[in-house]
């Protein structure tokens, strides 16, 4: 039986992935050529910023020192924050879906984004109060596909809820790394695909184009 829902943020709640990609491209210009959008989606989606940069530099046969890495992350954050000033839209159907689920289940977010990014967009959309807990890159140091973020979100949700188990929690993810993390935490997973992404080695329990396709019947089928 479904008892809680944990959402990824980038690419699930808000259409932020193109903005992250563009911000990285701007700060890496002259240093490294960004992977194609398709490669970014298939190989790097779901990683937090430090992990993405380390893996991308390694794949390029290069390695930044810690000072350069910190500088790149700081500059990328500045570029991305400029985009937040005008607001970043939620993905279609997300607002209605979150509001409908809020009245039935406790909700949390587990994301590799920074807390200020998540909070800013949720407040702009009027949805901050819908989520009991936010586990961001600021709360856990290990990036997806490590399950640390999902396990922390679960522990926060479990407080005061007798008998809540990971198997009673549903994760809503868009990336391969996120699906692996949620599965490792013992949760069922719905994959939403706002962008064209190929099949993953570790599949979700269900794959949908967006949350508008998630019905009570689908939830019941997944959780049985």
The torsion angle over the Cα atoms of residues 15, 21, 24 and 25, rounded to 10 degrees, is -140
User: Is 207 within 8 Å of 173 (Cβ atoms)?
Assistant: no
Write down the pLDDT at residue 87.
72
- Calculate the average pLDDT of the chain: 92
**What pLDDT is recorded for position 72?**
95
Residues above pLDDT 70, as percent of the chain = 96
pLDDT of residue 196: 58
Alpha carbons 141 and 201: distance in angstroms, whole number: 25
Decide: helix, strand or coil at residue 48. coil
Model's pTM, two decimal places? 0.90
Question: Mind listing the pLDDT tens digit for each residue in 17-51?
Answer: 899 999 999 999 989 999 999 899 888 988 999 99
The residues carrying an active-site annotation are 8
């Amino acid at each position: 039986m479904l008892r809680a829902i944990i959402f990824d943020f980038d690419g699930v709640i808000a259409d932020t992935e193109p903005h992250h990609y563009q911000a990285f491209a701007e700060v890496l210009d002259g240093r490294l050529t960004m992977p194609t959008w398709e490669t970014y989606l298939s190989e790097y989606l779901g990683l937090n910023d430090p992990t993405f940069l380390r893996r991308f530099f390694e794949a390029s046969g290069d390695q930044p020192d810690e000072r350069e890495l910190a500088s790149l992350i700081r500059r990328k954050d500045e570029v991305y924050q400029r985009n937040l000033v005008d607001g970043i839209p939620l993905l279609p159907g997300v607002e209605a879906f979150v509001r409908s689920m809020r009245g039935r289940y406790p909700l949390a977010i587990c994301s590799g984004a920074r807390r200020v990014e998540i909070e800013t967009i949720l407040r702009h959309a009027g949805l901050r109060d819908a989520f009991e807990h936010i586990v961001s890159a600021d709360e856990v140091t290990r990036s997806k596909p490590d399950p640390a973020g999902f396990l922390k979100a679960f522990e926060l949700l479990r407080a005061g809820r007798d008998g809540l188990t990971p198997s009673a929690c549903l994760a809503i993810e868009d990336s391969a790394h996120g699906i692996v993390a949620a599965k490792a935490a013992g949760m069922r997973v719905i994959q939403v695909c706002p962008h064209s992404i190929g099949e993953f080695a570790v599949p979700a329990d269900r794959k949908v184009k967006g949350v508008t396709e998630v019905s009570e019947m689908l939830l019941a089928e997944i959780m049985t």
